[in-house]
């Protein structure tokens, strides 16, 4: 299970080093194979390959009225593997749509990650804080 966030930088070739705290789990559970695709919120989604395969089936089973969503998620999906140094290449097409240049934030979201341009992540955090209404979460407490 992935949680927490890490401020990272892409190298000149667009590669990101996966933090060691996540790398071992990815190497063990998915042999370092991951899938990266667009996120509807403006960042990217990163799934261990076995998680993506289940998600991909769900996406493919959507009704034809959701063809645009299928195109967005499946049409932008990139299968990649961690290299010997624990890095993954973020495809230029995906970097462009997410506004990623160099500084990024990798966010653990349970069974997957989100990858954000650092400035977009900061803005999204502010938006998230402003939109929380705990009164609608009757049985939730911190």
Domains of the chain: 2-132 (3.40.1550.20)
Residue 20 has pLDDT above 90, yes or no: yes
pLDDT in tens, 35-61: 999 999 999 999 999 999 999 999 999
Is the pTM of the predicted complex or chain greater than 0.85?
A: yes
Q: Kindly report the average pLDDT of the chain as a whole number.
A: 94
- Note the pLDDT of residue 142: 67
CB atoms closer than 10 angstroms to residue 14: 17
Residue 72 has pLDDT above 90, yes or no: yes
Angstrom distance (rounded) from CA 107 to CA 100: 15
Length of the chain: 142
Residue 30 has pLDDT above 90, yes or no: yes
Q: Which residues contact 14 (CB under 8 A, 6 or more apart)?
A: 89, 90, 91, 92, 95
Residue 140 has pLDDT above 80, yes or no: no
Share of the chain above pLDDT 90, in %: 87
Q: Categorize the per-residue pLDDT at 15 as very low, low, confident or very high, splitting at 50, 70 and 90.
A: very high
Share of the chain above pLDDT 70, in %: 99
- Note the pLDDT of residue 133: 81
The mean pLDDT of 105-117, rounded to a whole number, is 97
Angstrom distance (rounded) from CA 28 to CA 36: 18
């Amino acid at each position: 299970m992935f949680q927490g966030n890490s401020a990272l930088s892409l190298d000149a070739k667009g590669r990101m080093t996966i933090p060691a705290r996540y790398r071992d789990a990815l190497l063990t559970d998915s042999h370092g194979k991951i899938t990266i695709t667009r996120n509807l919120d403006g960042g990217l989604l990163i799934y261990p390959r076995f998680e993506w395969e289940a998600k991909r089936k769900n996406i493919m089973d959507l009704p034809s009225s959701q063809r645009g969503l299928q195109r967005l998620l499946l049409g932008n999906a990139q299968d990649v593997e961690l290299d010997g140094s624990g890095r993954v290449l973020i495809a230029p097409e995906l970097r462009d749509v997410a506004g990623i240049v160099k500084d990024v934030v990798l966010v653990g979201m349970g069974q997957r990650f989100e990858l954000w341009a650092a400035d977009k992540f900061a803005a999204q955090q502010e938006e998230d804080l402003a939109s929380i209404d705990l009164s609608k979460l009757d049985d939730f407490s911190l």
